[in-house]
Amino acid sequence: MARENAALVGRRDFARLLALGGAIPFLTPGAAWPQTRALGPAPARPDERYWQSVREQFVMPPDLAMLNAANLCPSSAPVLEAVYGHTKDMDRDPSFDNRVKLGEGRENTRRILASFLRVAPEEIVITRNTSESNNLVSNGIDLKPGDQVLISSDNHPCNNNAWKQKAKRFGFTVKEIPTPSPHPGAEHYLAAFRNAITPSTKVIGFTHVTSTVGDLFPARELCALARERGILTLVDGAQSFGVIDVDLSDMQPDFYSGSAHKWPCGPKENGVLFINKRSHAKIWATIYSAYPGSVGISATFEGFGQRDEPAMIAFGEALQFQTRIGRPQIEARARELTQALMEGLKKLDGVKIWTSTDPSRTVAVISCQPGSLDARRLQAALYQKDRIGCATRGGQDRPGLRFSPHFYNTHAEIDRTIAAVKKYMAVGV
């Protein structure tokens, strides 16, 4: 393998890169991942062997069970290859002439994104992440004293803090709809938002799937409720994009945001903002610079200056990777693993699950409190001793651990996680 690597990158470069501690697979895209070309679409009923072959598309070592998709997902080998290959091509010849094709690649990613979300390329802005997308919305809408924005209290800070800060600046008001746990049902949220709407309500901002406890919001119904009253909707899709087979033509939000580096398993610092055609005239761009996109709203809204086009192209590859496997199959797999983990944790004495066990109210995020165990110490022990990655929630508000399995996980990893939590519940950490 070392000889192959050296032949591919040149002996001196290879030695230098090894000295830098570079991962060998990253130096030899393709050569180190022969299996990447072998993966076919998921069969109608994919078995564990099929999912194992999906797992092998990722460069995580086989003993590492990462159940932290809600935070950051690994990129698959084809995505790493795309980042590396296009970056290398650009850096070999950074002329304008050579980079024309990168601009075309960026527009191709826009088309892939549009088809992935079932909308038009003219409605897609490629951003850096969900934080940026949400802020482009709260910055870009004209709001004034007397106007009201309704938000749900489990929204991420890039949604709620942003609205509150801008309320201070522009004089509008913000009202929060509480998000009790476990999820009280779709009807609860429809009624809560309906009752809170006043003639001053101009925007509703909610999260499709919350990052706190994984609650699935009735996005389509909430968007309809707002639309009928002339209210704009911002749906934060950070925890739904790339795991739910999202159809924005059905949901019909005004704005929907997402990050490439979460469930889509794409490159870092890429994101999406969908801006519904009907709302193009209702939002101002925040950044005016060179190199905008080519079509629709991107031509005025996406002039963010020089971009990392190789990463943008790799974003498209990540979406195609999922599409090749099958998006309904990916959603079903993530849900199945989540339910299995939830079932296992439920049986452990003393473990309190904050997430609803009703599959219509959740997708692939579970938060739980492991009795009186210190969550941070437990998370550290799980990682260091058992090679299981998850997140913690500190403070008083639904504290504990957060697990978020995805399609690259296996049932063996779920069983291992349940067994490890059981062990620490018995012996402590």
Q: Under the rule (CB under 6 A), what is the footprint of ligand PLP?
A: 129-131, 156, 158, 207, 211, 236, 238-239, 259
- Which residue's Cβ has the minimum distance to ligand PLP? 211
Whole-number minimum distance, CB 6 to ligand PLP, in Å? 37
The residue (of 257 and 320) whose beta carbon lies closer to ligand PLP is: 257
Return the bridge partners of 207, or none: 236
The β-bridge partners of 400 are: 393
Least distance CB 159 / ligand PLP (angstroms): 6
- What is the end-to-end Cα distance of the chain in Å, rounded? 40
- What is the nearest approach in angstroms of ligand PLP to the Cβ of residue 24? 29
Q: Quick one: 50 or 241, whose CB is closer to ligand PLP?
A: 241
Q: How far is the CB of 411 from ligand PLP (least distance, A)?
A: 26
Q: Which is nearer to ligand PLP, 29 or 271 (CB)?
A: 271
Residue whose C-alpha is closest to residue 252's, from 271, 272, 234: 234
* Chain centroid offset of residue 197 CA: 29
Q: How many CA atoms lie within 13 A of 302 on its CB side?
A: 30
In terms of CB distance, is 237 or 310 closer to ligand PLP? 237
- CA dist 402 and 7 (Å) reads 44
CB count within 10 Å of CB 290 equals 8
DSSP state of 58: B
- Give a three-class secondary structure readout of 346-404: HCCCCEEECCCCCHHHECCCEEEEECCCCHHHHHHHHHHHHCEECEEECCCCCCEEEEE
Q: Of the two residues 156 and 398, which places its CB atom closer to ligand PLP in the complex?
A: 156
Shortest Cβ distance from residue 30 to ligand PLP (Å)?
29
For 39, the token pair is: 């993966």
- Name the minimum Å distance from CB 131 to ligand PLP: 3
Smallest gap from residue 409 Cβ to ligand PLP (A)? 18
CB nearer ligand PLP, residue 147 or residue 154? 154
- Please state, in angstroms and rounded to a whole number, the distance separating the CA atoms of residues 333 and 336: 5
Tokens representing 253? 């939000």
Residue 117 or 158 with smaller CB distance to ligand PLP: 158
Angle at 66 between CA 61 and CA 72, to 5 degrees: 110
Handedness of CA 346, 349, 355, 357 (dihedral sign): positive
